[in-house]
Amino acid sequence: MKHTKINDLLGGKGLLHEVKAKGWVKTFRNNQFIALNDGSTINNIQCVVDLDKFPAELLKKVHTGAAISVRGTLVESQGAGQNVEIQVEHLKVYGEANPEEYPIQPKKHSLEFLRENAHLRIRTNMFGAIMRVRSVLSYAVHKYFQDNGFFYFNAPIITGSDAEGAGEMFRVTNLDLNNLPRTEEGKIDFKEDFFGKTTNLTVSGQLEAETYAMALGSVYTFGPTFRAENSNTSRHLAEFWMIEPEVAFNNLDDNMDLAEDFIKYVINYVLDKCADDLAFLDKRLQDEEKTKPQAERSEMTLLEKLRFVVDNNFKRVSYTEAVDILRNSKPNKNKKFKYIIDGWGADLQSEHERYLVEKHFKCPVILFDYPAEIKAFYMRMNEDGKTVRAMDILFPGIGEIVGGSQREERYDVLLEKIEKMGIDKEELWWYLDTRKFGTAPHSGFGLGFERLVLFATGMTNIRDVIPFPRTPQNAEF
Amino acid sequence: MKHTKINDLLGGKGLLHEVKAKGWVKTFRNNQFIALNDGSTINNIQCVVDLDKFPAELLKKVHTGAAISVRGTLVESQGAGQNVEIQVEHLKVYGEANPEEYPIQPKKHSLEFLRENAHLRIRTNMFGAIMRVRSVLSYAVHKYFQDNGFFYFNAPIITGSDAEGAGEMFRVTNLDLNNLPRTEEGKIDFKEDFFGKTTNLTVSGQLEAETYAMALGSVYTFGPTFRAENSNTSRHLAEFWMIEPEVAFNNLDDNMDLAEDFIKYVINYVLDKCADDLAFLDKRLQDEEKTKPQAERSEMTLLEKLRFVVDNNFKRVSYTEAVDILRNSKPNKNKKFKYIIDGWGADLQSEHERYLVEKHFKCPVILFDYPAEIKAFYMRMNEDGKTVRAMDILFPGIGEIVGGSQREERYDVLLEKIEKMGIDKEELWWYLDTRKFGTAPHSGFGLGFERLVLFATGMTNIRDVIPFPRTPQNAEF
């Protein structure tokens, strides 16, 4: 007979009938109660074994981590803590997990230990919960855009362009590094490389997405992007997934509306679909908070934070207003900031963003109209000639989660900017074409998916919300 | 006022009211009828302009490709070919498209010309249709798996492993190629590289997905994969998107059932959701077919082919049976095959696969139980000791669209195979762990997404179903 997912059995599917379940043993208590999990839910099903019915040899194999199949009647449970249980009549062990060797024993493991065992950490309750939330969140991303008339656009991962300047890039090559081909002048001959020129891993699909928005109207990317930056922090990855919507005819206000609506939708979606996993993660965070001094504890639990984001408007503040607030703030006057804000034009640091979000406004904040000098070439210049139509969304505990802008759609203005910033305009011929032929106002933003998962799960290190993190000195598995 | 998507206007939204539409001019006929498209649908909305109401200067700017905004009343159309039209009262031109320079004029362009203008080809009816179908198909992939209890798993793109051997890999590096660091022995010192070792772009996420299936039960990947192979064909890309489900406790029959059910679901989904785009692509293919000699034309139209796949069972045939059929086939006896099949054990070539699918069975075929010698190390050995539980799905016109297997879950058998094939077992320590701890039968497959899009759109060159194709000597845009 076919086995049934434990999530369905716990929902009462097959009650009072013979059912089969397959999964991994979480615990085996008193040689009688197997807590079985198959990953379909964080909850285990209790399988009750009558000691006398099974050979001792077989039961000895039922350790934490063993893969087994059980068959028996699904009945209402007598014990506390579960509604149903399986009265086991048949038991099969597929694979044991020697307790002397199996690293994932039912006890507390450090997050660092689990990172070193990233292939096995998914077998813990915590990582099961995180990765199910990640999966549901990613589906919510697609569902939101598809339900709202967007088309999914796959930006190229290998790119011949390095003009965007969003960060350091990884080189992609097929050349034999031990025997590099040379031109007559002795330079490396990249004509011999796979693509006939130098290529890199993309840092953003935005520029290509713009070409598609100028035909399909509303598009979004959701794919991996890369930064070869030596940032060994809890917020940075060398490889991460990014979501980049781009919408023709949207101005910056529309763009802010879209970003806010989108974030609220996906958070609401996981609140709705991942209640059990979020309840577990909420409790985990509360337990962790209890180990901290009172003053360092969060004011809100994970679930409260998520509901707060869904229920409240994001505060929209211009860069100029934000600088005024910061200049007059206590930590600035008392020189508690590492970087003192003394005038207009400075790039805001993480400490300033956190002050605005966590101390001053106490809610997600959208900053807009930044100085042109500190922003990318493609952002639309305002009438004032010194600010651009950029926006960043700042989240409590996370910092910048979204960066976006209305794009400069005027050919002459864009070209002048490109030349002024010393960017090779020949390389961007195709991008300039979009302004030459049928140009129109348009806007978009980028959202780092892992930062969203961090926020949704209440985790604090970004390495714990992606299956196999890539960071400096680490590409294991 | 807010503008409305043309797809909604054509559905009658705002009928008899003032509406606004924004998009790009397809044609401007008789200085009176603008066919306007915004990418939300392949269909244009007719915008009727009263010549006397607008300055000639303004109307002169309304060329093919120009971006405009129109405001006016949405009325039932008098003319043939459309139900509704906009009687324009206000007209604004955002961006012109000089007919002397704009490459995408309303005439037939060669596919090669369009590939060279991949940033603009999306503005044609054909590529709009293809990319909308691609988007809907990708959503169907997520929807199928999420509705069936699978979790989305993001395999790492940069990998330190090169053990899978699915193909040539691209090197990823951050080293300065002009000044490579050297060890004392004069070798390149990859310890100095970003990840402290050599890294490549992934060829498959399967091995990592298996570690997740052994905890979450059912997982799937859907992400980019890479091959550094110098294959300049209409079926190969250096960068393509792959879907790889992996399911704990599934045997090969379950795996075949899953693949067939999945493919039927996603094809059915686009048949349902992309009727207008598919009707256009169906007609395009019929027009193309008419230029061919009778004997080379397809027996079925695109829509007939898609419905055929949805409505018919895939034929399941063992490798051994297939070899018998091929050995006794006319082209084999008449030496019309380039590679003559004279015995058991040969790898099947594209010509053989096409014969089986297109001539012999005339339907999608699932071949299974291949010789162990020609398949990967991780496939489960059968009792006969010479075949493995592999399966390939072959499609008419496309060839192999799916490759999968039941995985070797027995630690000893797997280790022996790894050693026999000369694979570095130290590198696969984490993969072997999945067999050491709680191992269980499991199966999965890989489906090249672009081949699916090829099939669904009736296109014949894979470069035409991905926005910016990467092939040898080509990484433009």
Residue A39 lies in a domain: yes
Query: Does the beta carbon of A238 lie under 8 angstroms from any beta carbon of chain B?
Result: yes
- What is the nearest CA distance from A377 to chain B, expressed in angstroms? 18
Give every strand in the sheet of A158-159, ordered side by side: A158-159, A199-201, A171-173, B171-173, B199-201, B158-159
- Our CA-based measurement puts residue B303 at a distance from the nearest CA of chain A, in whole angstroms, of 22
Residues with Cβ within 8 Å of B87's Cβ and at least 6 positions away in sequence, in order, are B48, B50, B72, B73, B75
User: What is residue B21's DSSP assignment?
Assistant: E
- Residues of chain B contacting A197 with CB distance shorter than 8 Å: 475
> Is residue A149 within 8 Å of B135, Cβ to Cβ?
no
For residue A90, count other CB atoms closer than 10 A to its CB.
12
Strand partners, A471: A474
Residues 6+ apart with CB under 8 A from B57: none
The pLDDT of residue B282 is above 90 = yes
Greatest pairwise CA separation for chain A in angstroms: 85
Residues B237 and B277 in one domain: yes
Establish if A38 touches chain B: CB-CB under 8 angstroms.
yes
Instruction: Give SS3 for B210.
Output: helix
Does residue B54 sit in the same domain as residue B163? no
* pLDDT tens-digit map of B427-471: 999 999 999 999 999 999 999 999 999 999 999 999 999 999 999
Mutate to test the interface with A, among B154, B169, B240 (most CBs of A within 10 A): B154
In chain A, which residues have their Cβ closer than 8 Å to the Cβ of B1? Answer: none
Average pLDDT over residues A142-170: 90
The structure tokens 């985790």 sit at A459
- Give the DSSP H or E segment for B431: helix B429-436
Give residue for tokens 């590198």: B427
Residue B353 maps to a domain: no
Counting DSSP H helices and E strands in chain B, the numbers are 14, 16
CA–CA gap between residue A216 and residue A458 (Å, rounded): 36
Residue A79 pLDDT = 77
Q: Look at A217-226, B262-271, B288-297 and tell me which has the smallest mean pLDDT.
A: B288-297
**Does the pLDDT of residue B119 top 70, yes or no?**
yes
- pLDDT at residue A166, rounded to an integer: 63
> Which amino acid makes up residue A53?
K
Percent of all residues in chain A with a pLDDT value above 90, rounded to a whole number? 92
Tell me the mean pLDDT in the region B125-141.
98
- Candidates B97, B222, B408; CA nearest to A439 is B97
3-state secondary structure of B75: strand
Partner residue opposite A437 with nearest CB, options B65, B170, B433: B65
B47: pLDDT strictly greater than 70? yes
pLDDT at residue A162 greater than cutoff 80: no
Mean pLDDT of B106-118: 95
Q: Could you tell me which of B18, B364, B199 has the C-alpha nearest to residue A173?
A: B199
pLDDT at B171 over 70: yes
Strand pairing report for A45-48 and A33-37: antiparallel
Contact residues, chain A, for B215 at CB < 8 Å: 24, 39, 122-123, 127-128
CB-closest option in A131, A139, A226 to B216: A131
The last residue of a domain, from among B95, B116, B133: B95
A143-150 LR contacts (CB < 8 Å, sep 24+): A143/A269, A144/A262, A144/A265, A144/A266, A144/A269, A145/A218, A145/A220, A145/A245, A145/A262, A146/B135, A146/B136, A146/B139, A148/A218, A149/A217, A149/A218, A149/B5, A149/B7, A149/B40, A150/A218, A150/A219, A150/A220, A150/A245, A150/A247
Q: Which tokens is B237 given?
A: 């890309």
- Enter the tokens of residue B309: 């796949």
What's the CA gap between A121 and A103, in Å, rounded?
9
Q: Do A266 and A309 belong to one domain?
A: yes
Contacts of B138 in chain A (CB under 8 A): 142, 152
What's the pLDDT band for B81 if we cut at 50, 70, 90? confident
Chain A CA closest to residue B428: A477
Which CATH number covers residue B424? 3.30.930.10
Instruction: Evaluate whether residue B16 is within a structural domain.
Output: yes
Instruction: Examine the domain organization and report whether A398 and A301 are in the same domain.
Output: yes
Record: contact B174-A171, CB cut-off 8 A: yes
| Cα end-to-end distance, chain A, whole Å | 36
Q: Across the interface, do A223 and B226 touch by the CB < 8 Å criterion?
A: no
A413 at B interface, C-beta within 8 A: no
Structural domain boundaries enclosing B396:
125-167+203-314+363-464
Residues on chain B touching A127 (C-beta within 8 angstroms): 215
CA within 13 Å, CB half, A305:
26
Q: List, in sequence order, the alpha helices (H) in B274-318.
A: 275-290, 302-311
Instruction: Kindly state the average pLDDT of the residues A341-357.
Output: 93
Give A-chain residues touching B131 at CB under 8 angstroms: 151, 153, 212, 216
Chain center to CA of A175? 33
Closest Cβ opposite residue B430 in set A39, A168, A477: A477
Partners of residue A149 in chain B, C-beta under 8 Å: 5, 7, 40
Give the C-alpha separation, B266 to A470, whole Å: 33
Q: Tell whether A211 is within 8 A of chain B (Cβ).
A: yes
Assign A167 a pLDDT band (cuts: 50, 70, 90): confident
Task: Output the pLDDT for position B164.
Answer: 63
Residue whose C-alpha is closest to residue A472's, from A241, A242, A239: A239
Tell me: the pLDDT tens digits for A401-445? 999 999 999 999 999 999 999 998 999 999 999 999 999 999 999
In this structure, the answer to whether residues A306 and A431 fall within a common structural domain is: yes
Give the integer Cα–Cα distance in Å for A126 and A50. 31
Q: What is the pTM of this model?
A: 0.97
Residue A174 has pLDDT above 90, yes or no: yes
Mean pLDDT of B261-273: 98
Whether A174 sits inside 8 A of B168 (CB atoms) is yes
Q: What is the CATH number of the domain that holds B78?
A: 2.40.50.140
Residues A197 and A138 sit within 8 Å (Cβ to Cβ): no
Q: Pick the residue of B13, B62, B70, B216 with the most A CBs within 10 A to test the interface with A by mutation.
A: B216
Structural domain tally of chain B? 2
**Is residue A234 in some structural domain?**
yes
- Name the residue among A175, A438, A468 with its Cβ closest to that of B67: A438
Does residue B163 carry a pLDDT above 70? no
Q: With beta carbons less than 8 A apart as the criterion, state whether B47 and B72 touch.
A: yes
Residues B227 and B91 in one domain: no
The mean predicted confidence, pLDDT, of chain B is 95
- Which residues touch B25 (CB under 8 Å, ≥6 apart)? A438, B34, B35, B36, B62, B63, B64, B65, B66, B68, B97
- Whether A129 and A222 map to the same domain: the answer is yes
* A307 vs A313: CA distance, rounded Å: 12
* Nearest CA distance, A72 vs chain B (angstrom): 18
Q: Report the pLDDT value the prediction gives residue A394, as an integer from 0 to 100.
A: 96
**Inside any domain, residue A214:** yes
> Which DSSP state fits B477?
-
Residues in contact with A341: Cβ distance below 8 Å, sequence separation at least 6, in sequence order: A323, A326, A327, A332, A352
Per-residue pLDDT, averaged over B282-294, amounts to 94
Residue A311 binned pLDDT confidence (cut-offs 50, 70, 90): very high
Q: Which residues in chain B are closer than 8 Å to A98, comparing Cβ atoms? A: 436-437
d(CA A252, CA A248): 11
pLDDT for res B165: 64
Q: Establish, for the pair of chains A and B, how many residue pairs have beta carbons separated by less than 8 Å.
A: 335
Residue A249 and residue A369 share a domain: yes
Which residues of A, range 342-371, sit inside 8 Å of B by Cβ?
none
Is A383 within 8 Å of A334 (Cβ atoms)?
no
* Cα–Cα distance measured from residue B463 to residue B459, given in angstroms and rounded to the nearest whole number: 9
Residues 6+ apart with CB under 8 A from A443: A246, A247, A250, A251, A252, A254, A255, A389, A404, A405, A406, A407
Task: Inspect the interface and report whether the beta carbons of B437 and A102 lie closer than 8 Å.
Answer: yes
- pLDDT at residue A384 tops 80: yes
Task: Identify whether residues B242 and B387 lie together within a single domain.
Answer: yes
Is residue A81 pLDDT above 80, yes or no?
no
**Residue A209 to residue A404: CA distance in whole angstroms:** 13
| CA gap B410, B390 in Å, rounded | 16
A95 and B438 in contact by Cβ < 8 A?
yes
In a domain, B477, yes or no: no
Q: How confident is the model at residue B295 (pLDDT cuts 50, 70, 90)?
A: confident
Residues on chain A touching B23 (C-beta within 8 angstroms): 217
> What token pair was written down for B222?
């859907």
Q: Are residues B91 and B136 in the same domain?
A: no
Closest-approach residue (CA) in chain A for B200: A172
Chain A, residues 146-175, CB within 8 A of chain B, namely 146, 149, 151-161, 168, 170-175
Which amino acid is present at B92? Answer: K
Tokens read off for A94: 């597929």
Asked if B253 has any chain A CB less than 8 Å from its own CB, the reply is no
In-domain check, residue B437: yes
* Six-digit token string for B362: 């005339």
CB atoms A171 and B173 under 8 Å: yes
Q: Is A216 on the interface with B (CB under 8 A)?
A: yes
**A111-121 tens-digit pLDDT:** 999 999 999 99
Question: With bands split at pLDDT 50, 70 and 90, how would you rate the model's confidence at A164?
Answer: low
Per the listing, tokens 């009647």 go with: A73
Residues B149, B145: Cα–Cα separation, whole Å? 6
**Integer Cα distance of B306 and B301 in angstroms:** 9
Question: Of the residues A95, A113, A148, which one is the last residue of a structural domain?
Answer: A95
**Residues A15-42, mean pLDDT to the nearest whole number:** 96
In chain A, count of helices (H) and strands (E)?
14, 16
Q: How far is A129 from chain B (nearest CA, A)?
A: 10
Is residue B57 situated within a structural domain?
yes
pLDDT digits (tens, 9 = 90+) for A240-288: 999 999 999 999 999 999 999 999 999 999 999 999 999 999 999 999 9
Who contacts A229 (Cβ-Cβ below 8 Å, separation ≥6)? A167, A168, A236, A238
Predicted ipTM beyond 0.90: yes
Considering the domain architecture, whether residues B306 and B428 belong to the same structural domain is answered as yes
User: Are residues A144 and A42 part of one domain?
Assistant: no
Q: Which residues face B381 on adjacent strands?
A: B388
Q: Is A52 exposed, middle or buried (0-12, 13-18, 19+ CB in 10 A)?
A: exposed
- Residues whose CB falls within 8 Å of the CB of residue B5, separated by 6 or more in sequence, listed in order: A149, A217, B38, B40
Dig out the tokens for A26 from the structure.
């979480």
Radius of gyration of chain A (CA): 27
